[in-house]
């Protein structure tokens, strides 16, 4: 039987760009504590539930998908490179998920951005060769999956991982409250230059849209593993906490995959310069 450690954490491109580590000191310290716990847990497999920012999946957007082979994009000062995806294992897992009623997309040769790369860089040693299973959850391109369906999907992923008999690190990445200017419209053909221009033009407003009250309420619900509240908050995330808050769907999926025990909040910090409420919460191995 597999054992799990689950880490759900915000990501932000600004964190990578701030190479000197000036901003987000509380969040960075919390992440460092979790990184040490991950090292003690010593995972044999990492499963990342991540969203996409209309890069890897722009014109055709899977509701749920697994990556058979792909790379990480170089961005924000962070190097890119290949992902150590165990293709035969991922194929078997995908077949098992499909057998349980989810029509799963399978992606090949995609370049994933900081939604996947940042948590891997922050939580694992620099030279880590732990196999990684990237699982995409549509959090940015409406229509989005219903939160209840996301929860059920995560539960099914946990079922197919259970017989592997490995130490598995589950990661949910994204959120909490934020409204990235590049996602305020539904264009799917933007260049990176257009994205940067939108961010610069909308940065001042976006920096004022972090919602600490909403973020803390979501973290408290994670601490109780109050699924009803989590699903309700995710359902209304755009209206109450910005389009980027939809990424908490990855937290719900990762949490459902790893069981039903409550989480422990390790840190929270609203970082207006990153236009994001930065939180991290952990279950198991803590």
Which residues are tagged catalytic?
114, 178
Q: Are 264 and 16 in contact (CB under 8 A)?
A: no
Kindly give the interhelix angle for 248-257 and 147-161, rounded to the nearest 10 degrees: 40
Could you tell me which residues come within 8 angstroms of residue 143 by beta carbon, excluding any fewer than 6 positions away? Answer: none
Distance separating alpha carbons of residues 136 and 57, to the nearest angstrom: 9
Going by the DSSP 8-state scheme, the letter that residue 49 receives in this structure is E
Contact 251, 150 (CB under 8 A): no
Beta strand 264-271 pairing with 276-283: antiparallel
The 3-state DSSP class for residue 216 equals helix
**Cβ–Cβ under 8 Å, residues 118 and 48:** no
**174 contact partners, CB below 8 Å, separation of at least 6:** 10, 11, 50, 51, 115, 139, 244, 247, 248, 249, 250, 251
Characterise 128 by phi-psi region: left (phi > 0), alpha (psi -120 to 50), beta (else).
beta
């Amino acid at each position: 039987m597999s054992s799990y450690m689950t880490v759900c954490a915000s990501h932000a491109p600004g964190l990578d760009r701030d190479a000197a580590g000036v901003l987000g000191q509380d969040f960075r310290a919390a992440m460092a504590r979790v990184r040490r716990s991950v090292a003690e847990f010593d995972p044999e497999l990492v499963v990342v539930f991540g969203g996409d920012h209309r890069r890897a999946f722009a014109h055709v957007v899977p509701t749920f998908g697994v990556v058979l082979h792909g790379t990480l994009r170089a961005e924000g000062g962070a190097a890119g490179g290949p992902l150590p995806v165990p293709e035969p294992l991922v194929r078997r897992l995908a077949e098992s998920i499909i057998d349980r009623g989810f029509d799963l997309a399978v992606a090949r040769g995609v370049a994933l951005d900081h939604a996947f790369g940042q948590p891997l860089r922050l939580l694992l040693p620099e030279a880590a060769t732990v196999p990684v299973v990237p699982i995409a959850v549509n959090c940015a391109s409406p229509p989005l999956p219903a939160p209840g369906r996301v929860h059920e999907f995560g539960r099914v992923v946990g079922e197919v991982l259970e017989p592997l008999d490995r130490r598995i690190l589950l990661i949910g990445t994204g959120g909490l409250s934020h409204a990235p200017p590049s996602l305020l419209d539904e264009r799917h053909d933007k260049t990176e230059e257009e994205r940067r221009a939108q961010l610069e033009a909308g940065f001042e407003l976006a920096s004022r849209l972090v919602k600490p009250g909403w973020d803390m309420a979501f973290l408290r619900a994670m601490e109780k593993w109050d699924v009803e509240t989590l699903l309700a908050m995710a359902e209304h995330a755009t209206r109450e906490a910005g389009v980027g808050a939809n990424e908490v769907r990855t937290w719900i999926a990762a949490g459902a995959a790893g069981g039903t025990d409550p989480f422990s909040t390790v840190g929270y910090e609203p970082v207006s310069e990153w236009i994001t409420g930065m939180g991290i919460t952990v279950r198991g191995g803590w």
